[in-house]
Amino acid sequence: MPATAAPSDATFFIVLNAGSGHTDRDQRRAMIESVLRGASRQFQLTIVDEPDQLDQIAQQMAQQAAAAGGVLVAAGGDGTINAVACQAVTHGCAFGVLPQGTFNYFGRTHGIPEELDEAVHALLRSNLYPVQVGMVNDRVFLVNASIGLYPKLLEEREVDKKQFGRSRFVAALSALKTILSPHRRLRLALEVDGKVYRLRTATFFVGNNRLQMEQIGIAPLQAALEDGQLAAVAPRSKGKLGMLWLLLHGALGQMGRLDQADQLATYSFKQLDVKVRTLSRRRKIKVATDGEVTHLTNPLTFRVLERQLLLLKPDPAG
């Protein structure tokens, strides 16, 4: 889609998550401030020290960005980016990203450098592009949303990361441990385009990220994202190998192609309704959105948000 030139004097309102990244927060803050001051760019930077402060601080910064015609910027991993992007969508302000997480799917997909100083320099020379936003009930997701085994995997991965450190190797070992442990299968009723499907699966995964779909290796799902849809994939009740491949290659950043596609159920859609049949309508269900686990009301509605996010990112040719 065509780019819109970003105002060269727009103020950056930066939300920096102290818990993201591999370097000290003061080092990261100093680097961001040095680059922006060197470019004579106006900015306001707020550090989030406690995770439960993130939504409130992001909301406050979004309000200021919208009032000033500025750019709301998230400095953190995909979970931080999700929380800040939600406020950018709500308040209608432009959005920028300084990726600082373990996998950085969102930033990598849009050509944003993972090195902090390079990312800040890229922010200064970027233009605005519309980016597709996914919704599950009232929650935004930019990368993926899922139910079943994957939210459990994320919770256990966070515990292991606190003990053994943040790395893709630790994440992969933690995932293996979770997958090989006993777990229940979901009984789902899916409705898409007026058709109802019954499915038993350990996990149901909805993607909104081209890079992940490339790694899963199912070409129609990748094409669906390019066509303004979301893509869903779930291992069938038989075939642990398909589930293992999906979680390790699609959700955990390991490279490879999926050769067991017959063991997977796949769907592409603008809107899909999912009822977990083993739960009552009033029960809450764990849902992971961009790596953060929350509880939403069953049934779930996954859909493409009509109002797209305006993302400040480097031009594809540059």
274 and 190 within one domain = yes
Instruction: Please report the pLDDT score of residue 60 as a whole number.
Output: 98
218 and 92 within one domain = no
| Residue 311 belongs to a domain | no
Structural domain ending residue among the three candidates 85, 103, 131: 131
| Residue 4 belongs to a domain | no
Examine the pLDDT at 172 and tell me if it is beyond 70.
Answer: no
CATH no. for residue 59? 3.40.50.10330
pLDDT tens per residue across span 129-150 = 999 999 999 999 999 999 988 7
93 and 154 within one domain = no
Locate all alpha helices (DSSP H) within 74-125, ordered by sequence: 78-91, 105-109, 116-124
Instruction: Please tell me the distance from the alpha carbon of residue 306 to that of residue 92, in angstroms, as a whole number.
Output: 13
257 and 108 within one domain = no
| Residue 309 belongs to a domain | no
- Match 């293996």 to its residue by tokens: 176
Q: Report yes or no: 235 and 206 within 8 Å, Cβ to Cβ.
A: no
Please count the other Cβ atoms lying within 10 Å of the Cβ belonging to residue 272. 22
CATH no. for residue 298? 2.60.200.40
148 and 219 within one domain = yes
218 and 168 within one domain = yes
Instruction: Please report the pLDDT score of residue 161 as a whole number.
Output: 62
Query: How many domains is the chain built from?
Result: 2
119 and 21 within one domain = yes
pLDDT tens per residue across span 245-281 = 555 554 444 434 444 556 778 899 999 999 998 655 5
Instruction: Please report the pLDDT score of residue 184 as a whole number.
Output: 74
Residue-range definition of the domain harbouring residue 240:
139-304
Structural domain ending residue among the three candidates 87, 104, 131: 131
| Residue 294 belongs to a domain | yes
| Residue 184 belongs to a domain | yes
